[in-house]
Amino acid sequence: MSDMIPRPKPRPGPESLPYWQAAREHRLALPKCDRCEKFWFPPSASCPHCLSAKFTFCDVSGRGKVFSHVTFNRVYRASFSERVPYVVALIELEEGPRLLTNIVGISPEEVRCDMPVEVVFEDIDAEASIPQFRPRGSC
Amino acid sequence: MMSIITDTTQIEPSRELRDTCAIVGTATSRLGKVPGVSSLDLLVEAIRNALDDAGLQASDVDGVLCRGPDESYSHHQLVAERLGINARFSTTLTNGGASQIMSVALAVMAIRFGLAKTIVCGFGRDTWSRTHASEEARVKNETRPEAMRAREFGPEYGYFGATAAHAFGATRHMHLYGTTRDQFGEIAVAFREHALRNPDAQMKKTLSIEDYHAARMIVSPFGMFDCSLRSDAAGAVIVTSAARARDMKQPAVLIKGFGTHNNTRGWFADDNMVVTAAKLSGEAAYRMAGLGPRDVDTAQIYDCFTYMVLTQLEDYGFCKKGEGGAFVSSGALRLGGALPCNTSGGQLSEAHCEGMLQIVEGVRQLRHTYPVERQVKDAEIALISGHGGNQVCHSTLILGRAS
């Protein structure tokens, strides 16, 4: 693992900075509307459900299920050349929002739609961590 | 899960627009690998050929509608400048592969309401040259300007490119309905068979289902032959009023209906990756035309990936949702089948021009001028689809042979 070219770090905008700061602390936190109390993702400056601009980043369960998934066999960037084949999945969180991630701790052929998963964090370096998901119940 | 439509009132697209305009000229540029020619010059080449086809001069045109390369500003001005004309009505559209049909739709509205008389719509790209023409291009292998690339929520996970986005839909469809790679493969094989009848097509070799399965995987469930081509290609059509079209060189092809829909909540929201915006786009086009899927003799479907053909065939009502796999396996898409589809080879095997060549082929089929092995017998109605804009924007065009 140590010889790998590091994966690209996310380049947060002002709206997503709190999300990545929470991830650094190994917390999954999403914007939640103060008015309609719904979560959304990706972060933006107003609630897409009711257009309120008052919201708070709140921790979520970190549990969800795989909505869909793909396996990268082709290398699109050198930083992933030693990771192929790897899975990119769309996770639907229990709280509703969907987010892109990798599925780890399972071979690509075993990933299924609707499979229950939970969050686990990977530290890219001393400054950045990214949420990943693994099958729920595994370790 | 429900698809969310902001306004659930059924709108009634104006039937006054039906049959008011016609396509009177159409052509392509050289297709496939055309090194050393910019996408702009390819587009001008296609427009020049389309004017010849129509028997018109550039000075007869008073409108220009086009999509440019992603980094181009006001591309229609560059096109009109090269044609040596001033334009009454002109703009650039930026809905990806849905733009080309939207150009035709906008042309009809502009002509019908007196903003212009004769409008050229077209698109050109130089994607093969950009990604192959030099060693530098091969290494870079990138067609999108930096400002369009994602900064987060993708690249850190190794998520890149349109192939993966569409592959998500394919996986979900396979999960819900038992759709198989054999069925995707039949789409690739059928369109290749059509391309072999088309001397202008980029792909010249036969493709069997065994070749399809033996090819390397790109982003599973997509292998190499599920993916469309990188092409240098341009196409153009010339739109004018149906009244003017009567006296022109070519048999007029009437614009019977069009519609658009954009699932702007996103490809990853709701069920949008499985029930696409082609459904509502198509329903609007059918209503304007006063027609339904049973009336369609040939479909020219936006085929950036095999799966997108299968799911759009369902969304357009040619079969039920979930039955697209069985429908394509029946051989329906082949010339001589129940619904000959992408009869020039499509973006999978003719050339990828973001839906522009689908319009060209629809017009040509309705003129009945092809040799018998390429002609959809007695084709009266063609349905054409456009798809783009981050996977969620769809446009539909229904053309009819003038009686």
Instruction: Give residue B5's pLDDT band: very low, low, confident or very high (50, 70, 90).
Output: low
Angle, helices B306-315 vs B278-289, to 10°: value is: 50
The pLDDT of residue B161:
87
Instruction: Measure CB to CB from residue B158 to each of A7, A90, A113 and give the nearest one.
Output: A7
The pLDDT of residue A78:
87
Give contacts of B 253-292 with A, CB under 8 A: 268-269, 273
Instruction: Give residue B140's pLDDT band: very low, low, confident or very high (50, 70, 90).
Output: low
Chain B residues closer than 8 Å to A71 by CB: 217, 219-220
pTM: 0.95
Q: Which two tokens stand for residue B111?
A: 């002509």
Measured between CA atoms, how close is B1 to chain A, in angstroms? 12
Does a cis peptide bond (omega within 30 degrees of 0) precede residue A18? no
Residue A46 lies in a domain: yes
The pLDDT of residue B1:
41
Q: How far apart, in Å, are the Cα atoms of B196 and each of B201, B278, B335, B370?
A: 7, 28, 12, 14
Q: Interior CA angle at B131 toward B126 and B136, to 5°?
A: 125
Assigned fold of B17-129+230-401: Peroxisomal Thiolase; Chain A, domain 1 (3.40.47)
Give contacts of A 58-117 with B, CB under 8 A: 67-74, 76-77, 79-80, 83, 85-86, 88, 90, 98-102, 108, 112-114
- Interface check B151 vs A, CB under 8 A: yes
The pLDDT of residue B9:
60
Give contacts of A 46-65 with B, CB under 8 A: none
pLDDT for B80 beyond 90: yes
Q: Which domain holds residue A72?
A: 17-135
Which of B149, B157, B273 to substitute to test the interface with A, most A CBs within 10 Å? B157
In SS3 terms, B172-241 reads as HHHHHHCCCHHHHHHHHHHHHHHHCCCCCCCCCCCCCHHHHHHCCEEEECEEHHHECCCCEEEEEEEEEE
Chain A residues closer than 8 Å to B166 by CB: none
pLDDT for B318 beyond 70: yes
The answer to whether residues A85 and A71 touch, using CB atoms and an 8 Å cutoff, is yes
Distance separating alpha carbons of residues B203 and B223, to the nearest angstrom: 17
Q: In sequence order, which residues have a C-beta less than 8 Å from that of residue B204 and are 6 or more positions away?
A: B195, B196
User: Which residue, B31, B310, B370, is CA-closest to B188?
Assistant: B310
Instruction: Give residue B136's pLDDT band: very low, low, confident or very high (50, 70, 90).
Output: confident
Measured between CA atoms, how close is B160 to chain A, in angstroms? 7
pLDDT for B376 beyond 50: yes
The pLDDT of residue B291:
97
Report the percent of chain B where pLDDT is more than 70.
Answer: 95
Q: Which two tokens stand for residue B215?
A: 């090819």
| Cβ–Cβ below 8 Å for B175 and A112 | yes
Pick from B49-58, B127-136, B158-167, B351-360: least confident: B127-136
Number of structural domains found in chain A? 1
Pick from A90-99, B148-157, B224-233, B380-389: least confident: B148-157
Q: What is the pLDDT of residues B96-131, one digit of tens each?
A: 999 999 999 999 999 999 999 999 999 999 999 998
Residue ranges per structural domain of chain B:
17-129+230-401
Q: What is the pLDDT of residues B220-277, one digit of tens each?
A: 999 999 999 999 999 999 999 999 999 999 999 999 999 999 999 999 999 999 999 9
| Residues in chain A where the model's pLDDT stays below 50 | 1, 139
Residue A10 lies in a domain: no
CA dihedral B179, B180, B184, B189 (to 10 degrees): -140
The pLDDT of residue B2:
45
Average pLDDT over residues B152-176: 96
The pLDDT of residue B213:
98
| Cβ–Cβ below 8 Å for A68 and B157 | no
Average pLDDT over residues B202-221: 98
Residue A125 lies in a domain: yes
Name which residue leads in pLDDT, B149 or A69. A69
DSSP lists the bridge partners of residue B253 as: B23, B401
Q: Which two tokens stand for residue B379?
A: 């084709």
Instruction: Measure CB to CB from residue B156 to each of A7, A71, A83 and give the nearest one.
Output: A7
DSSP lists the bridge partners of residue A70 as: A88
pLDDT for B141 beyond 90: no
Average pLDDT over residues B365-377: 97
Residue A84 lies in a domain: yes
pLDDT for B199 beyond 70: yes
Measured between CA atoms, how close is A112 to chain B, in angstroms? 8
- Interface check B370 vs A, CB under 8 A: no
Residue A4 lies in a domain: no
